[in-house]
Structure 1
Amino acid sequence: MNPPLLDRPLRVLRVCVHLLVAGLLALAAGTALADGVAHAGAVAATAVVLGAVYATGSALRRVGRSVGATAAWLAVLGAAWLVLLALTPVGVYLAFPLFFLQLHLLPPRPGLVAVTATTLAAISGFTWHQGSLTPSAVIGPALGAAVAVATVLGYQALYRESEQRAHLIAELTATRSDLAAAERTAGTLAERERLAREIHDTLAQGLSSIQLLLRAAERALPHQPDAAAGHVELARRAAQDNLAEARRFVHALAPPDLDDRSLPTALHRLCATTTAQSGLTVAFHCSGTPAPLPAPVEVALLRIAQSALANAVQHAGASRVEVTVSYMDDGVALDVVDDGVGFDPAALPKPGCAGGHGLAAMRARALALGATLNIESAPGDGTAVAVSLTQDATT
């Protein structure tokens, strides 16, 4: 199959060859009849036979597809041409279209051999009719063969280049499709990771708080109904907050804690809610003059504080936690410090393991902001989580 860009030139070339053969055959027959040569009828008959053989080969589908059928047709065509060449010197002109047929239909080496043989036959036939070997008898057929070879080789080089270009385009298209699929996959994984962090920092922690409150209510119910009712009320509020978070996931809105509130206000509310739900003393401090921050920065800092407080409540065994947000000229910092049992940071579980996802989520959030996250802890010495953002990261 030829490249689409070369289909039209090839069709034009074929039509030109057909017309050239028909015209030369008509010239050979007409010239013989007009000159009244003795064998004019034989020339005309041979021209008709040659035309019929040529037309038959053009109509047969196997010619051009089967090497054997093509070689056989060219041999019959060449034999008819040799007869015409022997009858009239005009037959030498038919060597030119024969060159194109041989080079186009045969493999490269057999094609060049056939062209060489046809050239020698044309020179010999023209010399026989003239009675002597002249430069014109050699230059004409040789020049025609050279032009045919240059034309066909140029077409074949253009064909190969076009085919390579089509192959490269196909590879680029496939690569672009693979890249688009990889980007979609990466986007899907990133969105899954984001949702996992959101669920861990909000819904999962809220449900854990509700579970703890309901257990406390269950224990207090037989002997302290009022305390049990207080626990149930706190659990109800936690469930209400979790419902708001779930709606935010659906509508992709900002965190409810930050709706119409500044980050310090949201952190203060978070500390108060944690104290009410867990009984852990959580103190909040704001240092410096609060300045508006981009929504993604405030959301990330709030979520890191939520995750750090959840770890303090569930794992640290702490009695007090200090949450401090500091506004400085060159950025903002968040510190969450507890007096719990501490741990060895080098022995952290891998992301996705039980107890390890919260810290991994905090690191991922900080990395997404271009912030610095430091976790300092040791067994028996409590834990300090510090997040700092430069002015560039908060703009």
Structure 2
Amino acid sequence: MMIDPNDISFHTGAPAGVDRVNMGVPSLKGRNLRISLKQWRMFHAVIDSDGFFGAADSLNVTQSTVSHAVAKLQDQLGVPLLVLNGRKAKITDEGRILLERSRLLVRHAIELEKLAENLRQGWGSEIRLASAPIFPAELLPLALRKFSLSLPKVKLRVRQATHEQAKSALHNNTVDLAITTQMTEGFVGNELIKVEHVAVAHPASVLFALKRDITSDELRSQCQVVISDIDDYVATEASYRLSLFTQVWNVSSLDLAFRVLRQGIGYAWLPRHEVQQALNENQVRILPVVGGSTYTTTLYLLHARSVAPDTVTGKFAERLQTCSRCYQENTRAPARAELMPDPACCDDVEQH
């Protein structure tokens, strides 16, 4: 049987004289849990829909149903959440304080239901990961495969995200781990891997016809192919690596970037692990750039506030760190014919 989050209730108040910070959350034994998640969801809808009418429409209920639920919520709490200004409902200071906490409550209830569904289907915990597009994607299934030897029913859900998207997801508690190009204040994290980028172009590019090192001014005269949503290159110091050109061709994927380059158009700064095969097959070549043809971007693994080292997510993060470290060491080897992770490289850390 599925859990209906609307049937779950709780009481927000703390008994007089109880200090939650110093004494912890008091026991709920014997307490009457009076406020339902349905009431909180209607309160959220009023805020998100800018009024009772919009809330009723979004929830597919009558306006009087929403008004009654919010009025009852305020009575039970004993504090005003909203004040009416004509037909507009304005949130109070008390309402603002309770808004984010109650959103977190509803999210946790939904996650609890999803966990129950995973268990019903034979799965265990779900790990939600936001990953920078430049992270070597082959490391994720490798880390999960090694990790699953001890916990075979873990489910991994991955989505690509820029730093700002990952930061927002961490704050909203919609991911457990984030691989991103910057540390984020308020979240624990560690350096995960350094990604090398190379300046590449088609072998028939006019830039190679110069037969010498290419200056930044000469690069500016050419079209730069940029993959949208890859935001790491803007952090580099050299101006010719920045998106400051009159000729910029934005594409949505690495595949499209290759298609443009194969036509002999422009150049691009791309992760070496993504272009190594094309380099081996002479589909693209590394440009001899004054000041260097490569640069590196550091990626960090950030933990959501709820992730502890002894949890499933914490242990997976440890395994991912190990695989990434081994991959990094392999890519430093002189021979770069293949940049594929060694399946045995994750075996040097004891399985938990």
- If the length of structure 1 is used for normalisation, what is the TM-score? 0.16
Higher strand share: 2
- If the length of structure 2 is used for normalisation, what is the TM-score? 0.18
Relative contact order higher in (CA < 8 Å, ≥ 6 apart): 2
Q: Whose radius of gyration is greater, 1 or 2?
A: 1
